[in-house]
Amino acid sequence: MSQHTPLPAHAPGAVPSVPPTLPARAGVGLKPEHFQAILATQPDIGFFEVHAENYLVAGGPFHHYLSRIRERYPLSIHGVGLSIGADAALDVDHLNALQRLLDKYQPQSFSEHLAWSTHGAAFLNDLLPLPYNTATLQRVCDHIDQVQTHLQRRMLLENPATYVEFAASTWDEGGFITEVLRRTGCGLLLDVNNVHVSCINHHRDAHATIRALPLHAVGEIHLAGFAEQVDGNGDALLIDSHGAPVAQAVWDLYAFTLALTGAQPTLLERDNDIPAWPVLLAEAHLADALLRQSPSSPVRRADTTVAAAERATRQAWADHPATNPEVAA
């Protein structure tokens, strides 16, 4: 990382204290296809997560089912539309709608992305990357301060999956995110699949990338599947598709991460090609198996090995063969 003179950490002011946390277990993204099965079977699962923008309307069947499921399970609400990195002001109407949603369901966690999706009056249905420089840093911090003050809660910021990088960047991603968290007091949603995707795409070491993140501030972990394409140079290009089972390489990276962070609430994301409920539940059970093997507190030693992480995932598969999502269907 380039040399930067750090500014004093942002004074917390009206930013609230940390809300009750999710359990250090595996959870699953809540999808309408599974509402009935979840209510009928009441599965043993740590928590559910929903995308905030699917619930910003008043009333309707989504709220009916979410209210019933929320009575039984912890909840995480994950935003995809705030456009934290945009060069324009945040949408106050959107913030007000989020505030009403959070007040209604009182989730244990709220998170958003380190990305932008708006330009002027246009909304782009994507999470687009940012240059990591001083101007972006100030803008992102200002927006996070505004979000936390408006919502009266601490938010988690998710590391992105990226397909391009900017010549204008003067920070590496780990240093940039660390400085954002230091200045704003927000936490980190560590998406392990995003780390794997970005590191393959940019030819970086995923284990070094994980170590460079502010792991002390992790409040939740995401796991997901990816799609594989080929770029113009013939190199592998991974797409964060959320449309496939978690790959073995991501399970191994997850076990490596848990050795450094200790057990953390972990979400299995599936937003495309959504399988039957037992398949997703099986993936959650595999994550739970790895969580049970992880240390109860972070390991600070520099000798945490990739081989140890791989052994942990192989043991979890051996102990729980039915959690293979291709078999569980």
What is the per-residue pLDDT for 238? Answer: 82
Give the separation between CA 286 and CA 266, rounded to whole angstroms. 11
**For the packed helices 277-293 and 306-319, what is the interaxial angle rounded to 10 degrees?**
130
Check: CB of residue 197 under 8 Å from CB of residue 21: no
What pLDDT does residue 3 have? Answer: 46
Q: What is the DSSP string of 291-326?
A: HHHS-SS----TT--HHHHHHHHHHHHHH-GGG-HH
State the Cα–Cα distance between residues 158 and 145, nearest whole angstrom.
16
Which pLDDT does position 227 carry in this prediction? Answer: 84
Where does residue 185 fall: left (phi above 0), alpha (psi -120 to 50 degrees), or beta otherwise?
A: left
Q: What is the pLDDT of residue 19?
A: 59
Count of CB atoms situated within 10 Å of the CB of 41: 12
User: Which two tokens mark 263?
Assistant: 């057990």
Per-residue pLDDT, 69: 98
| 165 Cα distance to chain centroid | 20
Strand partners, 47: 27
Query: Angle at which helices 173-184 and 134-151 pack, to 10 degrees?
Result: 40
Which pLDDT score, from 0 to 100, does residue 232 have?
A: 74
What does pTM read for this prediction? 0.87
Predicted pLDDT of residue 209: 97
pLDDT at residue number 294: 86
Domains and CATH numbers, the chain: 26-328 (3.20.20.150)
pLDDT tens for each residue of the chain, 329 residues long: 444 545 445 554 445 455 568 999 999 999 999 999 999 999 999 999 999 999 999 899 999 999 999 999 999 999 988 888 878 889 999 999 999 999 999 999 999 999 856 566 665 555 667 889 999 999 999 999 999 999 999 999 999 988 888 788 899 999 999 999 999 999 999 999 999 999 999 899 999 999 999 999 999 999 999 888 887 777 787 887 888 999 999 999 999 999 999 999 999 999 999 999 999 999 999 999 999 998 765 655 444 566 666 676 666 666 665 444 444 43
Which residue has tokens 């809540």? 30
